Chain A
Amino acid sequence: MTMSSLKHFSNVFAVMSNEFRILRRNRSAILISLVVIPFFFTASLGAGRGGEGETYSVTAELPIAFIDKDLSEASGRLYETLVRSEDFNMLIQGYREEDALAILGKGGIYAAIVVPEGFEQRLSNNETGIIVLHVDDGSPGVDDAVISNVEASLEIFNPNPRMKQTDNVEFVGVEIVIKGASFSGFAVGLTITLTMVVVFATFYEIAGGMSRERETGTYAHLLVSPVSLGSIMIGKTLYDVCLNIMRTFIVLGLAVYVYGASIHANLLSLVLSVLFIAILTMGFGFLVSSFGVGVRAVVIIEFFLILFLFAFSGFFIDKELLRGISQTIATVLPWSYGIDVLKRTILIGQPLMSLTYQLQIITISIILFYGVAYLLLRLSRERLVK
């Protein structure tokens, strides 16, 4: 029994030692498992959300409209309370409510706090004061942060210091009426799911498919036939467009019928939004494949692409909430705009035609990816033949 246990232990030790021996000889495994993954996640999260001890609020630098219709002492003190909290350093006054709502979610402002007429009067009458908070449904992460920070500020809000001194008036509190943010929980998850499914599958289908064709020699067979490189790329793109349409319907079907997601978008806008992300990813896939990488390398690159999207694209953390270098990366990462379009389409049914800025950036990126990939594939024809 003891001998058998010892033998078992010795085998365990042998297997473990062998694993370390293999790891020692595999520099890329060491690099990925011990350096890249821990450093990347920690650094990207740190860069995105700030370090311990930093006085940093995610909403501090977001432009938010403060519309004071009451123009009273109490509403003035509410403004001061919000500003002093350091959660709202960019509280902008002077907007009319309708103007603020018109630009809400389009990059100008991310929320609008409206103090209606009679705010002070209600407080004086020992009634609950009411403020209206308009949030941007296209950025649910921003909404949550703004709402919770306004709530936190209201807890320390005192509309009139004299009220406490005299004790004549009891301050009941202020209620926030939130407008917007009416989507179901899974609708938010749906944008993440769709992006994940589309990017993951599409990149592998294109970059992996091209690498596999190169490695098995079928790419060389196409090259010695009269088919042009443009036809190969367009053919593969159309194939993947079809797959992505099917995938979108499968994901939507599950989301709506199984998980009860409520989607505000019309189906065509939604499918087109998905296709923008898909074609962008296809272009990137062609670009990667033009460097003659193998299937294994494609899997590693895909892993990093997904990591990048997690950290910097608004895929997981709304890009408005990122800071510093993370926000800079998010700004130049074309997928950020695709994800933004998808969120706005799914969550608030914003028409595609009103998202021209994002669509222009995606389109330019697609043209750039396809153009460079085409040139590289042409120039590196020899390298790409097995």
Chain B
Amino acid sequence: MSEITIATKELTKNFGNFTAVDGVNLEIPKGQLFGLLGPNGAGKTTLVRMLCTLLEPSEGTAEIAGYDIVKDASEVRKRIGVVSDGVSLYQDLTIEENLKLFSTLYDLPNSMAEDRMQNLLEMFNFKEKSKRLVGKLSSGWIKKAMIIAALIHDPKILFLDEVTSGLDPQSALALREFTRKLCDEGVTVIWTTHYMTEPEIICDKVGIIFEGRLIQIGTPKELRSNVSKQSVLEIETPNLAKSTLKKIEEVGNICKVTYDDPILKTSCIDEGDKQIEESVTKILLDSGARITAINTKEPTLEEAFISLTGGEEEIDRFMEKAHQKE
């Protein structure tokens, strides 16, 4: 069994009467890229802030690299790197000056700090901009600078909180690739995001967090298949008669039928998939309809997320609540 780097037990954070994180249990092994997926206000950042010792849990415990986040907070801090919106660099210093400051705080020997700084600056194409004030950089470059600063002490665990928001697509892609490489080298990464597609692309495992509760953990594929038993049958068939559409709606195990000429979409219960496809095709052919294409679509992580969190209405209700709280 691989070494567990992050472990939480019933981790809870209350702000007055409001529970931001509610009894989270997690085990993340070394080198895993763990995605924390949830809408704004779901509790992702609060969870990350507890794990990186900025907030103390109200209940429960958590260990990072074997150290308790409350009792051994300073040991935890030596081993983590954090990139988050509320954690910034000094705007009036250059990136080099910022890196020198933080390498001193992390007690890196001068020569090692210098080597590591030069490597990171080179890796992120930052050499030319290294003497520029952070405040004068664009938001994308500031984000990169933050990542370099978080990596200066070679952390074993990296928290990347909404790290791609504000980045251009190329930079986001480069960052995802770089993070993947870090994990391959043994760094454990927690990647929080509200972009549904991101975890699907890069994460080994994804935890879906909603209203402070971690409602499901699994690989993106597991989440898709476990959560949503529905698949969508998409048939291209122009000029479909209303009577034919009615017959299709009466087929068993079909949840929803929509027709937007020429696309006929039927959401089906998984088990009856093949049977439904045959039944629908037969109805179409019998009624003389012309079929030009048939596709079966797997649900996306976004659909799985919506299904897990109780549907779009539930998310809307939650978002409204989150805005009111703000």
Contact = CB atoms under 8 A, between A and B. Distances in A.
Interface string A216-256: 11101111111110000000000000000000000000000
B36 interface: no
Interface stretch (B74-82, B168-176, B254-262, B299-307): B74-82
Interface stretch (B27-35, B99-107, B121-129, B210-218): B99-107
Contact of B54 (A218, A227, A385): A385
Nearest to B135: A216
Contacts of B91: 216
A223 B89 CA distance: 12
A292 to B, nearest CB: 14
B88 A385 contact: no
Contacts of A225: 77, 102, 105-106
A382 B53 CA distance: 10
B116 to A, nearest CB: 15
Given A216-B91, A217-B85, A226 B55 contact: no
B80 A218 contact: no
Contacts of A222: 105
A224 B53 contact: yes
A216 B105 contact: no
A164 interface: no
B88 A224 contact: no
Contact of B77 (A217, A218, A224, A382): A224
A224 B52 contact: yes
Contacts of A220: 54, 84, 86-88
Nearest to A216: B88
B55 A224 contact: no
Contacts of A381: 54, 56
Given A225-B77, A226-B77, A382 B86 contact: no
A96 interface: no
B56 A382 contact: yes
B178 interface: no
Contacts of A227: 105
A217 B74 contact: no
Given A225-B105, A382-B56, A218 B78 contact: no
Contact of A226 (B52, B86, B106): B106
A218 B74 contact: no
A226 B74 contact: yes
A386 interface: yes
Contacts of A228: 74
Contact of B105 (A217, A226, A386): A226
Contacts of A226: 74, 77-78, 105-107
Interface string B64-99: 000000000010011010101111111100000000
A220 B83 CA distance: 11
Contacts of A385: 49, 54-55, 86
Interface string A375-386: 000000110011
Contacts of B149: 221
A266 B74 CA distance: 45
Interface in A189-221: 216-218, 220-221
Interface of A is mostly: loop
A224 B74 CA distance: 9
B54 A382 contact: yes
A386 B74 CA distance: 20
Contacts of B77: 224-226
Contacts of A216: 88, 91
Given A226-B107, A382-B56, A221 B74 contact: no
A224 B106 contact: no
A227 B88 CA distance: 16
A221 B88 contact: yes
Contacts of B52: 224
A386 B88 CA distance: 10
Contacts of B55: 382, 385
B86 A217 contact: yes
Contacts of B82: 221, 224
A222 B87 CA distance: 9
A217 to B, nearest CB: 3
B55 to A, nearest CB: 5
A221 B89 contact: yes
A195 B107 CA distance: 39
A218 B134 CA distance: 12
Interface string B40-64: 0000000001001111100000000
B53 to A, nearest CB: 7
A218 B88 contact: yes
B185 to A, nearest CB: 22
A228 B106 CA distance: 11
A216 B91 CA distance: 9
B50 to A, nearest CB: 10
Nearest to A222: B105
Given A382-B55, A382-B56, A224 B80 contact: yes
Contacts of A217: 85-88
A385 B54 CA distance: 7
A114 to B, nearest CB: 61
Interface in A340-386: 381-382, 385-386
Interface of B: 49, 52-56, 74, 77-78, 80, 82, 84-91, 102, 105-107, 149
Interface of A: 216-218, 220-228, 381-382, 385-386
5 contacts: A216-B88, A220-B84, A221-B149, A226-B74, A226-B106
Given A220-B84, A221-B149, A385-B86, 15 more contacts: A216-B88, A217-B88, A218-B90, A220-B86, A221-B87, A221-B89, A224-B53, A225-B102, A225-B106, A226-B78, A226-B105, A226-B106, A228-B74, A381-B56, A385-B54
Closest 5 CB pairs of A and B: A217-B88, A386-B86, A225-B105, A220-B87, A226-B77
